[in-house]
A and B are shown apart, each in its own frame.
Chain A
Amino acid sequence: MVMATLTAPVWRRTLSPWFFPALLCLAIMVVLVLWPLTTLFYQSAVDPQTGRASLAGFRTFFQDPTYTQAFINTVRLGLTSVIGTLLLGAPLAYVVARYEFPGKSVVALLPLATIVLPDIITSQAWLMLLGNNGVVRLALEDFGIYLPSFYGWFGMSWVLILNDYTYVYIGMLAALKAIDGSIEEAAVNLGASNLRRALTVTLPVVAPALLINAMIVFTLAVDNFSIPMIVGGRVDVLSSLTYTTFLSEMGGNPTMQSVLAVVSVLLVGFVLFVQKRLVERKTYHMQQGRAPRPLKTRGLPAIFLTGTAVLFVAFSLVPATIVVLGAFTKASGPVMQYGTFTLENMERALRYAPQPIFNSLKLASVAAVAGTCFAIVASYLIVKKRMWVVSVLDYVVMLPLAISGTVLGIALIHTYNSGFIVLTGTWVIMAAAYFVRKVPFSIRSASASLYSIPDSIEEASINLGVSPVASFFKVVLPLMKPAILAAAILMWVTSLAEISATIVLYYGGMETMPIQMFRQIDAGYLAIASAYGVILMTVILVPVYLAVRFLKLDLFSSG
């Protein structure tokens, strides 16, 4: 039976209802990321007097040892941090994944103590312990032990490693838990010793995860602003040099800051590119299996493992403790009088603080709400709707990962200080910067939850008579809720601690909590800085605690 009737082709190009949301998302990213970045690249390669193309800036960069040295220092700091965090994080993860020992549950505190705690607080705390008047330094000197100066490489590596090893630890722990235990049993069955098994079977399987996390740590080191500013001393790195160049070039020739910014974008971009290639080439598809059971330990090994875990947690909790202590200690100028007690610091901080607290809360809330809405729509489009706009969006939303805070701030300032849209000197530009910096992480965790929601659930709703857009709200969104809430809280909390973009974007009246802290630390008033730190920690930790306690959110699974 051949039907000879020729029906006219159906109107094929039905415009998806998601086309305009996709276009809007893309437009937002173009305005906030792509265009400022383009402006920055343009400025770095143009002579500001003549307006002609010129590579003079880059020539200066390669000829002036200040700049080349900063570049070398940045790479060196990144590598130091990578090695240090691997040495701390990887063995800890192995021990936690594979052994059972008393008090093991304390390690659950680690992400909270390091990832949530702002690095400005960590830097300040270690400065109070090991800095020129540091308690620990002075105590050791009584025993005749003289530590090298904390300002410079010692301080930067120390704080950076203690601040970031948790990323390696979390990534490695996840990888170890994903291993199918039977491959290890197979190795043992084939006659491999335990050490041989660990080196030839376990290590190669977790190596990609290890490498990926090492690269994340590297980009975090390049990105970091407060640590080099507070404890870097005379050692210049790209982030601090970009900032000081920005200050000295204010209003004048923006070439050198643009050049430095471009170099940092290229450096991080290169690392992220290598990372992406590694992820694509080097991830093994493992059969779902049961991870090996942790071994019970007792006696000396148990004591050793418990001791190690407690030591890790203690080191990570030191900053919070010392800042709380400092907040209630009398000080005359930069000298802390430990052992005394006063409420004066807190009082002063609270008297001056309301405005910065209010500013911080407002900016973080705006950024978190806008970022969460954006992340919901963008991740849904990226995971579920394939169109050309979305393919472009997929790349553009991850672009901010290659841009450090200071660079982003400078790019935004130069792009929106004149012309069609003027945002420089408004709070909007600050909220926009927070939004851009944190949104890739929110999209990542929202996407992870979307991948686990099968398309058929949405189709079931449509089939029962609900339009596609309404189905998204009725069926998909409720399932994404835990991941979205967790992402929103993390976005809010990390925005509260943001300093590297804020430092170039803030203006009189729009100081944030971290800015206030930074000013006090810079001026040497550590007691009052501690008081601000306590307030900042409270504002950050209370919602995190409530989220974990009452909403039962798993904040660190995908973030």
Chain B
Amino acid sequence: MADISIDAVAKRYGDTTIIDRLSLDIRHGEFFTLLGPSGCGKTTLLRMIAGFVTPDEGRIVIDGQDVTRLPAHKRETGMVFQDYALFPDKTVFDNTAYGLRVRRFSAADIKHKVGQILDRVELGHLQHRYPGELSGGQRQRVALARALVIEPRVLLMDEPLSNLDAKLRIQMRDVIRQLQQELDITAIFVTHDQEEALSMSDRIALLRNGRIDQLDTPEGLYARPGTSYAADFIGAANLIKIDSVQSDGDAGHVMVNGARLTLPQQEIDGDVCLAARPEHISLRDAADQGDNDVPGEVIYRRYLGFKAAYSVRLGDGQTVTVDVYSAQDPVYAPGAKVALRFESGCRLVRA
């Protein structure tokens, strides 16, 4: 268990900046996720902590020890690779025992520890299989066991679920999260999948071009995105252009397509837009339009079982997606004139 401090770390390849003087602190026992699209620098940052990439500047401190220049094999981090990186010529047992043998544990200790961790990931009965004889999910669990058995200071995971099929992926989320809680280990998890990040993490750092766009709890990130980037990356959000912002006392007002919307007061400057998640907008007949509603026209309706997703065109041509739960769906046909009501939860974000 460790706390990790990343201090103004930067990495450049030629003219491209991969990590741009990034700082963050990770607490003891925390499940911390680095989230972002490909090319945002999340994997590079993880590999810096593991020691496979040397930062151009800045420091990385684990448990008060500056490891910036410590070789990778002396860092005591346990890494789970995207392709698992199991040794194909070694059995499940030998793969798991590899790190223990390096640390010169006795044969009896190794047998005990390996047996224990493999039982924990439900692979006790497959110890003598080779990686080639395992399913994707089983390989994943061997990789996890191999990294955990050495009792690393921190568990590093580089998109470990991306090679699994959808159902297994959801199952493995719980396995990893439970194991992390049980062993009370600090974990850093890299993913581009926002659902994975939301469901597993204590905190999430959303990365963008080598910087942190927003660092928050899953709930905070979802409910209070600070930027249009965050609002769009975490869950889907309609980013609606606004005509003007007015502020009077406790409430803020924005003008959208001529309608005046009232929003909770927010301190925000610069260019802003309205982030409205599809589930935070409701639809009603144009005839029932209220004072704060925006008029629109249904373009098409996608039926998804538990809900229907409408595409609605506003007067100025912007298209807005609106989710309606099937039980409440009035079933508007394309061309229907409707009114959109922006419920609480919609907020202003930096464009």
Q: Which A residues are closer than 8 A to B by beta carbons? A: 1, 3, 5, 7-12, 14, 454, 456-457, 459-468, 471, 475, 478-479
Contacts of A466 in B (CB 8 A): 73, 102
Which B residue's beta carbon lies closest to that of A17? B71
Contact between chains at B71 and A457 (CB < 8 Å): no
Please tell me which one of the listed residues A7, A9, A459, A465 contacts residue B76 in the complex, with CB atoms under 8 A apart.
Answer: A465
Smallest CB separation, A456 vs chain B (Å)? 4
Contact between chains at B54 and A14 (CB < 8 Å): yes
Contact between chains at B54 and A7 (CB < 8 Å): no
Contact with A along B1-13 (1 / 0, CB 8 A): 0000001100000
CA A471 to CA B75, docked complex, whole Å: 15
Contact between chains at A456 and B81 (CB < 8 Å): yes
Contacts of B58 in A (CB 8 A): 7, 10
Contacts of A454 in B (CB 8 A): 83, 85
Other 18 A-B pairs with CB < 8 A, given A463-B77, A465-B76, A478-B89: A3-B7, A3-B21, A3-B23, A5-B7, A14-B69, A457-B86, A457-B87, A459-B50, A460-B81, A460-B146, A461-B87, A462-B52, A462-B72, A463-B72, A463-B147, A465-B73, A465-B103, A466-B102
Q: Which B residues are closer than 8 A to A by beta carbons? A: 7-8, 21, 23, 50-52, 54-59, 68-69, 71-79, 81-89, 98-99, 102-103, 146-147, 150
Contact between chains at A463 and B73 (CB < 8 Å): yes
Smallest CB separation, A460 vs chain B (Å)? 4
Please tell me which one of the listed residues A1, A11, A456, A467 contacts residue B85 in the complex, with CB atoms under 8 A apart.
Answer: A456
Smallest CB separation, A359 vs chain B (Å)? 38
Which A residue's beta carbon lies closest to that of B158? A456
Report 18 cross-chain contacts, Cβ distance below 8 Å, ordered by A residue: A3-B7, A3-B8, A7-B59, A10-B68, A14-B69, A456-B85, A457-B88, A459-B72, A459-B79, A459-B85, A463-B50, A464-B147, A465-B73, A465-B76, A465-B102, A467-B71, A468-B72, A475-B87
Q: Dominant SS at the A interface?
A: loop
Which 8 pairs of residues, A with B, have the shortest CB-CB distance? Answer: A464-B99, A456-B85, A460-B85, A456-B81, A463-B79, A3-B8, A465-B102, A462-B73
Contacts of A10 in B (CB 8 A): 54-58, 68-69
Please tell me which one of the listed residues B7, B72, B77 contacts residue A7 in the complex, with CB atoms under 8 A apart.
Answer: B7
Smallest CB separation, A4 vs chain B (Å)? 9
Contacts of A479 in B (CB 8 A): 87-89
Which A residue's beta carbon lies closest to that of B59? A7
Contacts of B73 in A (CB 8 A): 462-468, 471
Which A residue's beta carbon lies closest to that of B103? A465
Smallest CB separation, B87 vs chain A (Å)? 6
Contact between chains at A457 and B85 (CB < 8 Å): yes
CA A142 to CA B173, docked complex, whole Å: 85
- Known contacts being A5-B7, A7-B7, is A464 close to B102, with CB within 8 Å? yes
Which A residue's beta carbon lies closest to that of B89? A478
Contacts of A5 in B (CB 8 A): 7-8
Which B residue's beta carbon lies closest to that of A455? B85
Contacts of A461 in B (CB 8 A): 87, 98
CA A8 to CA B68, docked complex, whole Å: 12
